[in-house]
Amino acid sequence: MIVLHLYNPETETWQNGDIKLLSLPLHGDQRLWLNLSNASADEQQQLLAKFNIHPEIAEDFLRERHPPKLESSNGFTLMILRAYAGKDFKDYPGHAQLSLLFSNQVLLYKCQLPEQDYAYALPTFDLQQPAMPIKDWVKHYIHAVSASYLEKLINFEDELSEFEDAMLNHGDDQKMAQIMRYRSVFRKLDRNLAYQKEMFADLLDLESEHLLKSLFQPVELRDFYEKFERLLSMTQMYYDQLGDLVSGYMSTSSHQINERMKLLTMVSTVFIPLTFIVGMYGMNFDNMPELHLETGYYWTLAGMAILALAMLLGFKIKRWW
């Protein structure tokens, strides 16, 4: 089903309804906001045909999964954005794909959400708001997409600090597994944000010509770019910090294992000659003079004790323990 909002400049009111209200071409200051989020593929194709949308742009708009993209043709601009659809970064539920196809008077809106328990939604159309230029709606959605990342990234800073302290004091495999899940999520965020950062970076190129440049001032385009550039920088910083925690935990675990192995090695080194002595005097030969000494047992124990103490003293001198 297609939800349609038509602004009538004569009465300064919005009409809310379905596709039956649509009458082309639009006249004067009329504005049209169309929500295609729940529309079928056939309904979307028929509507795109009415607006004479270029086939390549129509194909990208109809796709359920598409990387962030910006393209213009025949007076219409297609902007595909990806918002973060999770409530935190413990797991990656997927992204909300926001597809905007707009001109000076028309905005076609489509938001595709992943299947999840957490009810996430981008801001929808408000009938009570006053009429505004189409570009202000587009700007509003760009800010909403960036905000879907920003608030969670800011909250994650405190969580990461607590997690870092926990890893240093009581690191274990369970916390290590959580770090790897975080790293997996941030790797996906990095890819989404990099697409969107580059998309707006291209608009800042002085040699590039794009319809969006005529809608937004350079300072607004730079603001869009800087928003996603900062989000990408924060994501990469957290990803690197999580990597440092992994390296630190592995180094600490390796050091602890080495210390245990060193202790076991020293114990084995001490007992090897003692075992040799015991094995030698445990042989069943009749002609072993030491076996007939009345104090042989005590001399042997004393010699073994002196040998063990001498080896331990040598380890201490060499600072092996």
Q: What is the DSSP string of 164-210?
A: HHHHHHH--HHHHHHHHHHHHHHHHHHHHHHHHHHHHHHHH-TT---
- 111 touches 83 (CB < 8 A): no
Helix (H) or strand (E) holding 305: helix 296-317
pLDDT band at 265 (very low <50, low <70, confident <90, very high): confident
pLDDT at residue number 93: 83
Could you tell me what percent of the chain has a pLDDT over 70? Answer: 94
pLDDT at residue number 146: 93
Res 275 pLDDT > 90: no
Res 218 pLDDT > 60: yes
- 34 touches 109 (CB < 8 A): yes
3-state secondary structure 109-123: EEEECCCCCCCCCCC
Res 237 pLDDT > 90: yes
Res 228 pLDDT > 90: yes
The pLDDT tens digits of the residues spanning 51-72 come to: 888 899 999 999 888 889 888 8
SS3 88: coil
Residues of the chain with CATH 3.30.460.20: 3-253
Report the predicted TM-score, pTM, of the whole model to 2 decimal places.
0.76
pLDDT at residue number 236: 93
| Average pLDDT of every residue of the chain | 84
Helix (H) or strand (E) holding 101: strand 95-102
Q: What mean pLDDT is predicted for residues 74-78?
A: 87
pLDDT at residue number 128: 64
Could you tell me what percent of the chain has a pLDDT over 90? Answer: 19
3-state secondary structure 29-83: CCEEEEECCCCCHHHHHHHHHHCCCCHHHHHHHHCCCCCCEEEEECCEEEEEEEE
Give the pair of three-digit tokens for residue 277.
């002595």
pLDDT band at 264 (very low <50, low <70, confident <90, very high): confident
Res 127 pLDDT > 70: no
CA distance 69 to 221: 15
CATH superfamily of 3-253: CorA soluble domain-like (3.30.460.20)
The pLDDT tens digits of the residues spanning 100-117 come to: 999 888 889 998 888 765
Most confident of 10-14, 128-132, 186-190: 186-190
pLDDT at residue number 130: 65
CATH superfamily of 260-317: Magnesium transport protein CorA, transmembrane region (1.20.58.340)
- 8 touches 26 (CB < 8 A): no
Provide the pairing of β-strand 31-35 with 106-112: parallel
Res 207 pLDDT > 70: no
pLDDT at residue number 81: 93
Res 162 pLDDT > 90: no
CA distance 307 to 321: 18
Neighbouring-strand partners of residue 32 = 6, 106
Neighbouring-strand partners of residue 109 = 35, 100
Neighbouring-strand partners of residue 100 = 79, 109
Give the relative orientation of helices 218-281 and 296-317 as an angle to the nearest 10 degrees: 160
- 109 touches 83 (CB < 8 A): no
Higher pLDDT, 190 or 124: 190
Neighbouring-strand partners of residue 71 = 78
Q: What mean pLDDT is predicted for residues 275-301?
A: 80
Residues of the chain with CATH 1.20.58.340: 260-317
